[in-house]
A and B are shown apart, each in its own frame.
Chain A
Amino acid sequence: MTSEAAAVDRVFRSEFGRAVALLARVLGDIGLAEDAVQDAYLAALRRWPADGVPDNPRAWIVAVARNRAIDRLRRDRVLERHTEELTRRAEDEMNRYDESADDDTIPDERLRLIFTCCHPALATEAQVALTLRLVAGLTVPEIARALLAAEPTIAQRLVRAKHKVRAAGIPVRVPPDDQLTDRLASTLAVVYLIFNEGYVATSGPQLRRDDLAGEAIRLGRVISTLMPDEPEAAGLLALMLLQHSRRDARTDAAGEVVLIGRQDRSQWHRDEIAEGVALTERALRMTRTPGRYALEAAIAAVHAQAATAEDTDWWQIAALYEMLLRVSPSPMAALSRSVAVSMAQGPAAGLALADTIAAEGSLAHSHLLHATRADMLGRLGRSQEAAAAYRTAIEQAGNEAERRLLQRKLADLPEPSQPRTTG
């Protein structure tokens, strides 16, 4: 790729969502908006190498896309798909943003677009693809690579989703106040899903997957900037920044998983931690009843602020998990709380909680429950029971890296375990 083409790509990557959002609001049609911005991209590829990148690329893109949209509307009107009235109204709206418009006069409409892409009438996988395409500005091949899917699959998913938005009349707007809490929660869930696709990747080229986590952070930043009074928007951004800050320490040179207690903390990204901690504090100050993202961010912040694993404030983490369980009860959070309690008060207290979770049965098939019990039993010197629990965990572990980690732990048990226990 030439450096000029790379410059076009860079500018469009950062401006795509804003341009599509603005046009989608005016045209009331996300597909038409996307096509118009894509037209502007092709025009930029032709003109920028000769004329240079314009001083205000955002205004240039909006102006060119606007003209192309009007052309498309006129063509469509000939096909009688749009009424004269609609075309005229769109032209009037479009003409309000002339070529002299600058950053301050071009409104940021991305929030509407995000809520449209994450509308619950769309399937979750359609929400993810649509958000990555229209808001994040990823191309179809990029989305396919990031989600480990075939390009035609993603292309078709996008076509269907855009058709449903138009044909079913999904509005391009921020939901009214009475629906906002629910809709924001499900929108944040889509962003966190995109983040986790990148964060817990076990296959595929690592670089691309890291990019996906980075895209989720960009999306989280847009939402939290445009909704500054929503504590969960700030909480999610904080949580993602804090988790992402550890990315370089999560695997060793051989690609093996390194748990947080053994990570090389000098590899953590301090600038991201500082921003994540500040955002966490802001999210917690905004409300008396912090939500799940703010609380999970607070837990991540306590880890991030400990200079060494031994300095971790486990009492505070245990207390935060208790709050989290009240807001958003889940067996996994309960299990994490048992770990925190075992570190704060000792393995016996932790094991009592883990045994309660085991008795409830919902995590019976999760290797994490058995691995957690194994660790606590080992610390209590009950090596034989610990070994049995590790073996169950190894049987149930989903991927090779985790299985190898558990085998190392089994081998590390203080007393040699009996390979052939009966019963």
Chain B
Amino acid sequence: MQYVLLIYGDPAAAEGMSEEDGRAMMAEYFEYTEGLRRSGAYVSGEPLESAQTATTVRQRDGQQVISDGPFAETREVLGGFYVLECDSLDQALEHAGRCPGVRYGSIEVRPVMVMPATA
């Protein structure tokens, strides 16, 4: 099955990071991603620009509404994601546990929904 690892973190903490620490974190992520590729679990993954660059689209009563945001109520915002192919939740949790993001914020692990009769 496929799982998405949604990486949440506090942007203020990331901004407060020294250049050296920032480079170290980037290196960790490169190494982590490389490990995922080697294990065969990696499907895709991307870091995201900050939440301040986000735009929200809604449609209400046939009218499209575009707005700045969302402005999260919580301190932690989505900062990036991986899509992984795993044999069970346990394997997905193992991969999540090795992601550098677990030490700075938190990682939400969600199974990708299997749509019936699409294959």
A89 CB, nearest partner CB in chain B, Å: 16
A278 lies within 8 A of chain B by Cβ: no
B88 pairs with A169, CB closer than 8 A:
yes
In Å, the complex CA distance between A226 and B116 comes to 38
B116 pairs with A80, CB closer than 8 A:
yes
The residue of chain A having its C-beta at the shortest distance from the C-beta of B119 within the complex is A83
In Å, the complex CA distance between A170 and B116 comes to 20
Residues of B within 8 A of A175 (CB): 90
Residues of A within 8 A of B86 (CB): 169
B116 pairs with A168, CB closer than 8 A:
no
Residues of B within 8 A of A57 (CB): none
A170 pairs with B117, CB closer than 8 A:
no
B90 pairs with A171, CB closer than 8 A:
yes
A168 pairs with B117, CB closer than 8 A:
no
B27 lies within 8 A of chain A by Cβ: no
A167 lies within 8 A of chain B by Cβ: yes
Residues of A contacting B: mostly? loop
In Å, the complex CA distance between A81 and B114 comes to 10
The residue of chain A having its C-beta at the shortest distance from the C-beta of B1 within the complex is A169
A121 lies within 8 A of chain B by Cβ: yes
The residue of chain B having its C-beta at the shortest distance from the C-beta of A183 within the complex is B90
The residue of chain B having its C-beta at the shortest distance from the C-beta of A119 within the complex is B89
Residues of B within 8 A of A169 (CB): 1, 3, 86, 88-89, 92, 111
Interface string of A148-191 (1 = CB under 8 A from B): 00000000000000000001111100010001000000000000
A80 pairs with B90, CB closer than 8 A:
no
Residues of B within 8 A of A171 (CB): 87-90
B51 CB, nearest partner CB in chain A, Å: 26
B52 CB, nearest partner CB in chain A, Å: 32
Q: What range describes how many residues of B lie at the interface?
A: 10 to 19
> Size of chain A's interface in residues, with CB distance under 8 A?
12
The residue of chain B having its C-beta at the shortest distance from the C-beta of A179 within the complex is B90
B117 pairs with A80, CB closer than 8 A:
yes
The residue of chain B having its C-beta at the shortest distance from the C-beta of A175 within the complex is B90
The residue of chain B having its C-beta at the shortest distance from the C-beta of A80 within the complex is B117
In Å, the complex CA distance between A169 and B84 comes to 13
B40 CB, nearest partner CB in chain A, Å: 17
The residue of chain A having its C-beta at the shortest distance from the C-beta of B88 within the complex is A171
A30 CB, nearest partner CB in chain B, Å: 14
Contacts of B8-59 to chain A: CB distance below 8 A: none
Contacts of A74-112 to chain B: CB distance below 8 A: 79-81
Residues of B within 8 A of A167 (CB): 111, 113
The residue of chain B having its C-beta at the shortest distance from the C-beta of A171 within the complex is B88
In Å, the complex CA distance between A119 and B89 comes to 10
In Å, the complex CA distance between A291 and B86 comes to 34
Interface string of B84-119 (1 = CB under 8 A from A): 001111101100000000000000000101001100
Interface centre among B3, B86, B90 (most CB of A within 10 A): B90
In Å, the complex CA distance between A387 and B54 comes to 64
B116 pairs with A121, CB closer than 8 A:
no
With A167-B111, A170-B88 already in contact, the answer to whether A121 and B93 are too (CB < 8 A) is yes
Residues of A within 8 A of B87 (CB): 171
Residues of A within 8 A of B3 (CB): 169
B56 CB, nearest partner CB in chain A, Å: 27
Interface centre among A80, A167, A169 (most CB of B within 10 A): A169
B90 pairs with A168, CB closer than 8 A:
no
A324 CB, nearest partner CB in chain B, Å: 30
Residues of A within 8 A of B88 (CB): 169-171
In Å, the complex CA distance between A80 and B117 comes to 6
A167 CB, nearest partner CB in chain B, Å: 6
In Å, the complex CA distance between A342 and B10 comes to 50
Residues of B within 8 A of A80 (CB): 116-117
In Å, the complex CA distance between A79 and B117 comes to 9
Contacts of A98-149 to chain B: CB distance below 8 A: 119, 121
Q: Which residue in B89, B93, B116 is a CB contact (below 8 Å) of A81?
A: B116
Residues of A within 8 A of B89 (CB): 119, 121, 168-171
The residue of chain A having its C-beta at the shortest distance from the C-beta of B90 within the complex is A171
Residues of B within 8 A of A79 (CB): 116
The residue of chain B having its C-beta at the shortest distance from the C-beta of A28 within the complex is B88
Residues of B within 8 A of A170 (CB): 88-90
Residues of A within 8 A of B93 (CB): 121
Interface centre among B1, B89, B113, B117 (most CB of A within 10 A): B89
In Å, the complex CA distance between A170 and B3 comes to 12
What are the 3 closest A-B residue pairs judged by CB atoms, nearest first? A171-B88, A80-B117, A169-B89
List, sorted by A's number, 27 A–B pairs whose CB atoms are closer than 8 Å: A79-B116, A80-B116, A80-B117, A81-B116, A119-B89, A121-B89, A121-B93, A167-B111, A167-B113, A168-B89, A168-B111, A169-B1, A169-B3, A169-B86, A169-B88, A169-B89, A169-B92, A169-B111, A170-B88, A170-B89, A170-B90, A171-B87, A171-B88, A171-B89, A171-B90, A175-B90, A179-B90
Given contacts A80-B116, A119-B89, 5 further A-B contacts (CB under 8 A): A79-B116, A169-B86, A170-B90, A171-B89, A179-B90
